[in-house]
Amino acid sequence: MAILPIVEVPDARLRETCAPVDAITDEVRGIVADMFETMYDARGIGLAAIQVGIMQRIVVIDLQDRETEEEDPAPEAVRAPHAYINPAITWVSDELSTYSEGCLSIPEQYAEVTRPARCRVTWLDLAGERHEAEYDGLMATCMQHEIDHLNGVLFIDHISRLKRGMLMKKLDKLRRGG
């Protein structure tokens, strides 16, 4: 396993659409393992393959218990890792919810984003088995956020131009050491 470099804005790859995974191979399993290691190291709860420069429809999510964190971002005892190969949203609710979202590709920047409160998703697991589930709460938000990545959409695309501009200025200042 390896910690991979995270692709950050304004890298053009983040705006591309990822290709479907044709087959679940040892290479794909290795990518997933590296993605989990990278996500845990960066203290994230979700990561799309595009965020590590891999243009395939792969997502990893772990909504680990943040309150038990100490030095290790997600101690083994509370980790609940899930890999989603070729995930697709098949339904969203009319009801909306708002969460403060952040993104490993837009470091240390957060904004209130309104999305459907529930969503239904289909995917393949690492054994190639097809699954379908309905999610709500933080999991629904995280799933929509990560699948957006696979389609070249960032969370900042869901906020006003003014807020997006302010957020990007703050990011530029942070990068300059301010």
Q: Is 86 left (phi over 0), alpha (psi -120 to 50) or beta?
A: left
Cβ-contact 125, 131 below 8 angstroms: yes
CA distance 158 to 106: 14
Separation of CA 170 from chain center: 21
Cβ-contact 56, 18 below 8 angstroms: yes
Catalytic residue among 8, 95, 129, 146: 146
- Two structure tokens written together for 39: 């996500």
Catalytic annotation present for 67: no
Catalytic residues: 146
